[in-house]
A = this chain, B = another copy of it.
Amino acid sequence: MRRLDTRSADFESELSALLAFETSQDPEVDARVAAILADVKARGDAAVVEYTNRFDGTQATTMADLELTQDELKDAFERLPQVQKDALTFAAKRVRSYHEHQKMSSWTYEDEDGTLLGQQITALDRVGIYVPGGKAAYPSSVLMNAIPAHVAGVAEIIMVVPTPKGEKNDLVLAAAYVAGVSRAFTVGGAQAVGALAYGTQTVPQVDKITGPGNAYVASAKRAVFGVVGIDMVAGPSEILVLCDGSTDPDWVAIDLFSQAEHDEIAQAILLCPDAAYIDRVAASIEKLLPSQPRRDIIAASLGNRGALIHVADLDEACAISNRIAPEHLELQVADPKAWVEKLRHAGAIFMGKFTSESLGDYCAGPNHVLPTARSARFSSPLGVYDFQKRSSLIMVSEAGAQTLGRVAATLAHGEGLTAHANAAELRLK
């Protein structure tokens, strides 16, 4: 695993190289996706069924063959071992309880003229959640997407999940049951995104699509942005561990693994001012790697994009962390509350040695859908606020129309917009 030192003359260029990641779109993927979307928009169900049979190896004849009933979701839950049922239910409860804190409320105030101003908050009517299928089927993602929508008050939640060769994942279906998904279709890819964005004879049109997917899904979400809302275009997973050397090095090694195991282009970085401690983490990595079932992926990820970085002190570590703006940031220091305010850009901050990133992934309560690829500079974890929106409220009093009207007319005339000015002037006494 790469070792860097901020005191090295080459550090700046080494860090830039480490962080460089080509997120640019693939024009060939975009073109294929555009064709699929246009076809789904034009032909609806028939197109979705055809693409699903072609790409997922299914034998559906109608869209009804690709819909999961509420009974199927419930049966999947009932089939689970008790320990999994309890874990899903516990996680859902914690996630719901945390997200209740995010719910926004309407607000208004009156100014001195009696003019009322504010914002009315409403939930989206209907949302679509995309759940990846196949190898990387994550029931926790169902909870993390559907529960905030529920808390927001979204009336209808439509889930899509591809089932390659028709193989359904009981945990995913059970999570949909626990999270209260309204309808579920076993479709994926750009065709699923198109069905949700435009609606088909069977799939209702949604107002927003959330959830991660492969390159085709990402391209399709980007293409339909505007027709519907989207959450974000997710990149590879990242963890940055900022450590003062007080945490068991085995714990830090495993925490780095826990992002590295996602895929070969995930990024795991340690920042530490204690060179001897970095050696101990490196030793833990060597010791613990061979017993990991996903060791090949972890080794590739740590080799490709991982780094152990020796920093001058924790202040410098915070500055580097802000530059990286990581998805997951572990603050493994003795007094995390003293440092957290220096961390300006991160999807989620895991404070103190007991807070492994994986607790946040499943059941601590906060959302695990987080901004990647430095987008924590400008965006936030998925939340209830993504499923609510605001309408400005303005109720101008007769007195207010006199003061506001003169100013508005002056500015409107300045912009050459006479009708705007006249609308204000007509309300003057």
Contact = CB atoms under 8 A, between A and B. Distances in A.
A169 to B, nearest CB: 10
Interface residues on A, range: 35 or more
A16 interface: no
A399 to B, nearest CB: 9
A351 interface: yes
A427 B84 CA distance: 20
Interface in A30-53: none
A254 B394 contact: no
A32 B398 CA distance: 51
B394 A360 contact: yes
A349 B293 contact: no
A212 interface: no
A341 interface: yes
A265 to B, nearest CB: 16
Contacts of A418: 261, 292-294
A115 interface: yes
B411 A88 contact: yes
A116 B355 CA distance: 10
A293 to B, nearest CB: 5
A60 interface: no
A391 B357 CA distance: 14
A165 interface: no
Interface string A345-360: 1111111111111111
A193 to B, nearest CB: 15
Contacts of A389: 371, 376-380
A277 interface: no
Interface in A327-363: 329, 336-337, 340-341, 343-363
Nearest to A399: B354
A394 B355 contact: yes
B88 A391 contact: no
Interface string A382-425: 01010001111111111011001111101110111111111110
15 contacts: A84-B414, A87-B414, A119-B366, A120-B343, A257-B422, A258-B422, A349-B392, A350-B395, A354-B398, A359-B404, A360-B394, A362-B407, A364-B396, A376-B391, A381-B391
